[in-house]
């Protein structure tokens, strides 16, 4: 959870998705270094082919791009950098730590945090990310085994229903 405190009391709370194993969110005391409404990652995003189809959903900027394809940086709207490349921003929350170190929150709450803080606002990051079998159990089955070609947001439950049988009528 992320909390915005005013006079030591919480005035805003948000669920989050923090850094996954291998990209843990740094803990400690920081300050908001910069705010950017329409920030895009320079390191992470997706790779699409010439037709715009996603080829790699969780791509690094230095990965090979197929001929005619391109790297599309990940949007990080309402970005509030607090250390290095890490910050808080609007993003997808799968229900477990999934980021490359940033703190993702739902867009409406990211907007509220963004509008409530200024550069130099103190930020304290604490807690830990599960790293044992618990972490693997909570991970999407599509992402187990390092499958960089799968995106948990497009799992089987989001597939269109099958056509009525027989489909040719």
Neighbours of 109 (CB within 10 A): 19
- DSSP letter for each residue of 100-158: SS-EEE-HHHHHHHHHH--TT-EEEE------SHHHHHHS-GGGTTT-TT--GGGSGGG
pLDDT class for 150, splitting at 50, 70, 90? very low
pLDDT digits (tens, 9 = 90+) for 72-109: 999 999 999 999 999 999 999 999 999 999 999 999 99
Instruction: Check: pTM over 0.85? Answer yes or no.
Output: no
pLDDT class for 127, splitting at 50, 70, 90? confident
pLDDT digits (tens, 9 = 90+) for 28-55: 999 999 999 999 999 999 999 999 999 9
């Amino acid at each position: 959870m992320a909390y915005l405190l005013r006079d030591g009391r919480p005035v805003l709370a948000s669920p989050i998705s923090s850094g996954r194993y291998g990209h843990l969110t740094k803990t400690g005391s920081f300050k908001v270094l910069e705010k950017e409404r329409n920030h895009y990652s320079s390191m992470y995003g997706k790779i699409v082919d010439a037709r715009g189809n996603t080829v790699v959903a969780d791509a690094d900027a230095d990965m090979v791009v197929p001929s005619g394809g391109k790297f599309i940086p990940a949007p990080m709207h309402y970005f509030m950098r607090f250390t290095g490349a890490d910050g808080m921003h609007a993003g997808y929350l799968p229900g477990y730590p999934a980021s490359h170190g940033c703190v993702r929150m739902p867009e409406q709450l990211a907007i509220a945090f963004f509008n409530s803080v200024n550069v130099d606002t103190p930020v304290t990051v604490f807690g830990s990310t599960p790293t044992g079998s618990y972490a693997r159990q909570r991970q999407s089955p599509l992402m187990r085994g390092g499958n960089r070609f799968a995106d948990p947001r497009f799992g089987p439950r989001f597939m269109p229903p099958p056509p009525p049988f027989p489909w040719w009528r």
